[in-house]
Structure 1
Amino acid sequence: MDRRSFLMGTGALAAGTTLAAPAISQGRKEWKMVTTWPKNFPGLGTGAQRCADRITKLTDGRVTVKLFAAGELVPAFESFDAVSSGTAELYHAPDYYFQGKHPAFPFFACVPMGLIYSEQNAWLMHGGGMELWNELSNQFNIKPFPCGNTGVQMGGWFRKDINSLDDLQGLKFRMPGLGGEAMRKLGVNVIALPGGEIFQALQTGAIDGTEWVGPWNDLAFGFYRVAQNYYYPGFHEPAPTVACGVNMTAFNELSDSDKAAVEAACQMENSLMYSEFVAKNGSALNTLTTQHGVQLKEFPPEVFDAFATASEEVIESVGDHDDLGKRILESYKKARKDYGEWTAISIQAYTNARARADASK
């Protein structure tokens, strides 16, 4: 090879190398995930991080997701707007935080006296729920995915005993979503607060009580240091689905395989988070009651029945908002009836029978 040919060849190689690098970098995207959780908070915060990391791995780094905890990029309750506008590409939060956008959003997290985990997933995946969720969220430039669940939650922490409906009058209580609307009907002064602000509000007396999730998370927040009465069952959140809302513009720019990777990462976290809460709530409850003197109490029937009545009134009102709200309500109610009949003779009947058998030993 002569000198002229060699130089031309190396020049072509150099040009090829120079051109290839931008092409590779252009194929990679850096996404921001905003959350409503404190940084690294057990279950919820760590679940969001798992999902972010899993998207990065499943796309082989073509989509790299960086997580921002509540307040790091935007305030907790502004995560929906951040993703809708494109300030961030994903949020991790239960959609009942965003009922101000449309009163039907809580149905895709949970509503009081609503579906349990298995029923919620059945409705979303096989009962038309996902189609309705997409129809609602797409109006805000968001593509939703289920991305976590805590299972049935506790009724909450109270400074004083709740023996009757009179004890609820004027109570300052933290509860989001339609459950909070139901409590208002019973004379409760309901206050919405993100997770990271609850303990201080309880400690200073800004609120008299709070619900959060359940023993594992409640132990981590240390609510037992301020309130000792821990009530069950939680009427307000029988199985809250945590959403991963994705900016639709950003999502539509992905290849089909990367879209599938995002969906798979969210679906995996939806299952993994639920199983983690089931695994850890029992031991956390034991710690609360045996080591920290927490008094475990059941709501009196009179109080719980009033919760149920108020919940029905609140839920029905969603159907009056618009046609979409009405269709979401009707679909959800049908699912609750259909799935509830099976739940009654399967999950509920079995666990009741198991409890009787255990008690007789």
Structure 2
Amino acid sequence: MSTRRDFIKTAAIAGGAVGTAALGSAHIYAAEPKKIVWRLQTYAGPALAEHVIKPSIDRFNQVAQGQMEIQLYFADQLVPTGELFRAMQRGTIDAVQSDDDSIAAPVDIAVFGGYFPFATRYSLDIPVLFNQYGLNEIWEEAYNEVKGVTWLGAGAWDPCNFATVEPIKSLADLKGKRIFTFPTAGKFLSRFGVVPVTLPWEDVEVAMQTGELDGIAWSGITEDYTVGWANVTKYFLTNNISGAWCGSYFANSDKWNEVPPHLQSLFKLCMDSSNYYRQYWYWGGEASLRVNGDKLKLTTIPDAEWATVENEAHKFWDEIAKTSPRCAKVVEIFKKYNALMTKAGPPYRY
């Protein structure tokens, strides 16, 4: 009887321990968060992405310690660039790095993404305009009116110069040239006889070789060398129509809201890291390759003649300002900012 009583007591304790352990395991399993996986597509091809986004995404994945993974895809790899916004809105992809203009963002201020003619002279102009002159608030307001997509922030890239097969030494040389460029930049350049051409990013080099294109107005000289375009063009025009490309990061709103705050903060820190890297990579690269590059010959349109292009850009600004009150507000900010920079003098404006 004593043995039987001890057995029942021992079994009850053991059973309780097993039950507690089982409950504990279930509790631990339920509390373990599911790994978040994103698919992010950039505007850039593989060689360019190695600089403009991949290092920051690699760092994010490392620091996230398995809680989240961002899978990076390159230009047109999953979705054509012009369809990126709608694909992100539907949730086909989770996030995008590009400019508002190229991805056909359905907001009035999309026209200012990419290269808005002569809005900036240097890459530092972009973060100053967004952080000190109110563009952050304007972009947030615009994208809050669109369901399904969250705008996460903007940064600066390189200037917009021509790389061509034939030399450009005057405005007359631009006439009839078939140029790969951005939508708004192309619309503006058509005023000088340029024929804007839209192609998948990866097809540009071949199109140059087959004669389908006469040149590119898509980047500065750093990208021309980095992505191989310096191998299929001969000349680089030192005059640019914009001092910096304005690009942004976007995410599907539902997917962004599922990311815990600490990982949202980590992602934005990685955006900042990428923005910082590009500031010196482009700035140093543009100067070094103008001096040391051995593939592209430099040409320049005289300042007096190029001033007519800038004057035409200001007319273009006024036309865009009429499209919406919000666009008018952005144009007014550009005017105010550039007037201040001009008044400040060197090194802000020469």
The yes-or-no answer on 1:36 pairing with 2:70 is no
Offset from partner CA, 1:140-195 (integer Å, 9 cap, x none): 33322346533334x21122233433322222111214321111111211112343
Alpha-carbon distance in structure 2 between the residues aligned to 1:331 and 1:348: 17
Matches within 5 A, 1:184-195: 184-195=190-201
Letter in 2 for 1:113: F
Letter in 2 for 1:264: L
Q: Secondary structure at the residue paired with 2:61? A: helix
Alpha-carbon distance in structure 1 between the residues aligned to 2:297 and 2:254: 50
Which segments of 5 or more consecutive residues in structure 2 lack a partner in the other structure?
Answer: 1-8
Residue of structure 2 equivalent to 1:345: 346
Residue in structure 1 matching 2:20, options 12, 29, 47 = 12
Q: Secondary structure at the residue paired with 1:97? A: coil
Q: Secondary structure at the residue paired with 1:87? A: coil
Alpha-carbon distance in structure 1 between the residues aligned to 2:90 and 2:274: 25
Go from structure 1 to structure 2 and tell me whether the alpha carbon gap of 1:339 and 1:57 turns closer, same or farther (over 3 Å shift). farther
CA deviation after TM superposition for structure 1 residue 287, in Å: 4.8
Matches within 5 A, 1:98-177: 98=103, 101-115=106-120, 116-140=122-146, 141-146=148-153, 148-153=155-160, 155-177=161-183
Alpha-carbon distance in structure 2 between the residues aligned to 1:50 and 1:78: 25
CA deviation after TM superposition for structure 1 residue 45, in Å: 4.4
Letter in 2 for 1:23: A
Q: Secondary structure at the residue paired with 1:231? A: strand
Residue of structure 2 equivalent to 1:298: 300
Letter in 1 for 2:301: F
Residue of structure 2 equivalent to 1:76: 81
Letter in 1 for 2:283: V
Letter in 1 for 2:182: P
Alpha-carbon distance in structure 1 between the residues aligned to 2:316 and 2:108: 10
Offset from partner CA, 1:213-249 (integer Å, 9 cap, x none): 22332113333333212111211x3111321112222
Alpha-carbon distance in structure 1 between the residues aligned to 2:200 and 2:305: 26
Go from structure 1 to structure 2 and tell me whether the alpha carbon gap of 1:318 and 1:347 turns closer, same or farther (over 3 Å shift). closer
Alpha-carbon distance in structure 2 between the residues aligned to 1:50 and 1:147: 18
Q: Secondary structure at the residue paired with 1:233? A: strand
Which segments of 5 or more consecutive residues in structure 1 lack a partner in the other structure?
Answer: 350-361
Q: Secondary structure at the residue paired with 1:2? A: helix
CA contact (8 A) 2:36 2:69 kept: yes
Alpha-carbon distance in structure 2 between the residues aligned to 1:166 and 1:100: 34
CA deviation after TM superposition for structure 1 residue 57, in Å: 4.1
Alpha-carbon distance in structure 2 between the residues aligned to 1:55 and 1:333: 37
Letter in 2 for 1:345: P
Comparing 45-54 and 184-193, the one that deviates more? 45-54
CA deviation after TM superposition for structure 1 residue 332, in Å: 2.8
Residue in structure 2 matching 1:328, options 327, 330, 334 = 330
Go from structure 1 to structure 2 and tell me whether the alpha carbon gap of 1:312 and 1:192 turns closer, same or farther (over 3 Å shift). farther
Go from structure 1 to structure 2 and tell me whether the alpha carbon gap of 1:159 and 1:72 turns closer, same or farther (over 3 Å shift). closer
CA deviation after TM superposition for structure 1 residue 122, in Å: 1.1
Go from structure 1 to structure 2 and tell me whether the alpha carbon gap of 1:31 and 1:100 turns closer, same or farther (over 3 Å shift). closer
Go from structure 1 to structure 2 and tell me whether the alpha carbon gap of 1:326 and 1:282 turns closer, same or farther (over 3 Å shift). closer
Alpha-carbon distance in structure 2 between the residues aligned to 1:63 and 1:231: 44
Comparing 98-107 and 225-234, the one that deviates more? 98-107
Offset from partner CA, 1:18-76 (integer Å, 9 cap, x none): 342243133x311111112112x23x444322232333345444332111112322123
- TM (norm. structure 2) is 0.87
- TM (norm. structure 1) is 0.84
Q: Secondary structure at the residue paired with 1:207? A: coil
Alpha-carbon distance in structure 2 between the residues aligned to 1:29 and 1:266: 18
Comparing 199-208 and 88-97, the one that deviates more? 88-97
The yes-or-no answer on 1:205 pairing with 2:211 is yes
Alpha-carbon distance in structure 2 between the residues aligned to 1:98 and 1:257: 28
Matches within 5 A, 1:172-183: 172-183=178-189
Letter in 2 for 1:189: V
Go from structure 1 to structure 2 and tell me whether the alpha carbon gap of 1:160 and 1:151 turns closer, same or farther (over 3 Å shift). closer
Alpha-carbon distance in structure 1 between the residues aligned to 2:93 and 2:285: 32
Go from structure 1 to structure 2 and tell me whether the alpha carbon gap of 1:100 and 1:205 turns closer, same or farther (over 3 Å shift). farther
Comparing 164-173 and 119-128, the one that deviates more? 164-173
Q: Percent identity?
A: 18
Residue of structure 1 equivalent to 2:249: 244
Q: Secondary structure at the residue paired with 1:212? A: strand
Alpha-carbon distance in structure 2 between the residues aligned to 1:61 and 1:262: 14
